[in-house]
Amino acid sequence: MFSGKIGFIGSGQMATALASGMLSAGLLQKDQLLACDVSLASAEKFVAATGGEICPSIAILVEKSDVIFLSVKPQSMAGVLQTLSQVSTSREKLIISIAAGITLATLEAGLGGPGRIVRVMPNTPALVGAGASAFALSQGTLAASADRPSDAQIVRQLLETVGVAEEVPESLMDAVTGLSGSGPAYVYQIIEALSDGGVRVGLPRAIATRLAAQTVLGAAQMVLSTDEHPGALKDAVTSPGGTTIAGLHALESGGLRAALMTAVVAATQRAKELGQPAR
Ligand SMILES: NC(=O)C1=CN([C@@H]2O[C@H](COP(=O)(O)OP(=O)(O)OC[C@H]3O[C@@H](n4cnc5c(N)ncnc54)[C@H](OP(=O)(O)O)[C@@H]3O)[C@@H](O)[C@H]2O)C=CC1
Ligand SMILES: O=C(O)[C@@H]1CCC=N1
């Protein structure tokens, strides 16, 4: 269990996924969740999904929260940092930014200096406890003491409640964004396309989508559970002169693997751009 209160500045897609995932996992209760948003629609959706409390200002959210997620778009971050820097108690709180591209140096500069600041890149499957996150700590984060865990332990606890979490050097955070941050969208396209293929050869849509999604889930579980190289698992499916090699040949002709690698590179590059001052 987590005993403090968690506030989200920006209560959109990713904040709602994280908060809902934490609730579903039993990490906390709804009265431990707070949010503040300039969009009434986002705030209402957050409340409907989580039962959390909406704060009328960032200052009030900071006052009531122990951990604060900065979950606005990168383009909105400068304004949020400016407001936070004027709230003196924000320096005492653990601040977790999930914004693509925004560096720890930018966060520290915007908040008025080093502090308890962590950069996290989560992904939306946190909603169902299957998230993949990475985090990088700033120099100002606190070590454990006799009466409380370290900031790293708090962040790990929050993220591992909704999936897996890897601590990485900050220099790798844009790469994480290009792979696992954006990755669910790539996989949804793959599932949709597999389903389309199923429909093309005569399957009803609902059955095709269920089979496609379960196939992706099962293959992912095989990679995670068996310690086998994905190539070896692929070989185990592929009979000489059989059906799979015919399908794989078609994927090679279509450039699937190059397309996926290029997607990760493009998204990583975009994360770097979002971290630049002029966006
Ligand atoms: N969606 C995803 O899969 C992932 C997103 N992220 C990161 O999470 C962050 C949020 O993304 P996402 O949830 O998709 O975005 P959303 O647009 O769904 O949510 C952001 C919310 O913040 C609001 N907002 C803007 N300015 C302020 C402000 N000054 N104070 C309070 N609220 C504000 C927005 O309102 P309005 O719309 O009116 O601007 C919006 O409701 C981004 O930085 C993104 O890079 C990270 C990993 C995955
Ligand atoms: O598309 C985006 O910019 C965000 C960051 C990672 C996933 N969604």
Cα(199) to ligand 2 centroid in Å equals 30
Question: In sequence order, what are the beta bridge partners of 262?
Answer: none
Task: Choose which residue among 16, 37, 68 to substitute to test ligand 1 binding: the one with the highest number of ligand atoms within 8 A of its C-beta.
Answer: 37
What confidence score (pLDDT) does residue 30 get?
98
Query: 138-155 burial, b for 16+ CB within 10 Å, e for fewer?
Result: bebbbeeeeeeeebbebb
Q: What is the pLDDT of residue 279?
A: 45
Q: In the predicted model, is pLDDT for residue 8 greater than 70?
A: yes
Taking only the tens place, the pLDDT of each residue in 60-75 is 999 999 999 999 999 9
Domain with CATH 1.10.3730.10 in the chain: 183-274
What does the pLDDT average to over 149-153?
97
- Residue 23 banded pLDDT, cuts 50, 70, 90: very high
Span 169-191, mean pLDDT? Answer: 98
Among 67-71, 156-160, 273-277, which is the least confidently predicted range?
A: 273-277
Label residues 177-189 b or e (16+ Cβ within 10 Å = b): bbbbbbbeeeeee
Confidence of residue 278 (pLDDT cuts 50, 70, 90): low
Q: How far apart are CA 217 and CA 140, in angstroms?
A: 39
Mean pLDDT score of the chain: 97
Is residue 6 within 8 Å of residue 33, measured between CB atoms? yes
3-state secondary structure labels for all residues of 171-187: HHHHHHHHHHHCHHHHH
| Three-state DSSP class for residue 195 | helix
What is the tens place of the pLDDT at every residue in 72-104? 999 999 999 999 999 999 999 999 999 999 999
Q: How far apart are CA 64 and CA 186, in angstroms?
A: 38
Could you give the CA distance from residue 246 to residue 235 in angstroms, rounded to a whole number? 13
Q: What are the start and end residues of each CATH 3.40.50.720 domain in the chain?
A: 6-173
**C-alpha span between 229 and 217 (Å, rounded):** 17
| Predicted local confidence at residue 254, as pLDDT | 98
Does the interface ipTM go beyond 0.90?
yes
Give the position of tokens 């793959």: 190
Pocket of ligand 1 (CB under 6 A): 9-10, 12-15, 36-39, 42, 71-74, 76, 79-80, 98-100, 121-124, 181
CATH topology of domain 6-173: Rossmann fold (3.40.50)
pTM for the complete prediction? 0.97
Correct CATH for 183-274 of 3.30.1540.20, 1.10.620.20, 1.10.3720.10, 1.10.3730.10? 1.10.3730.10
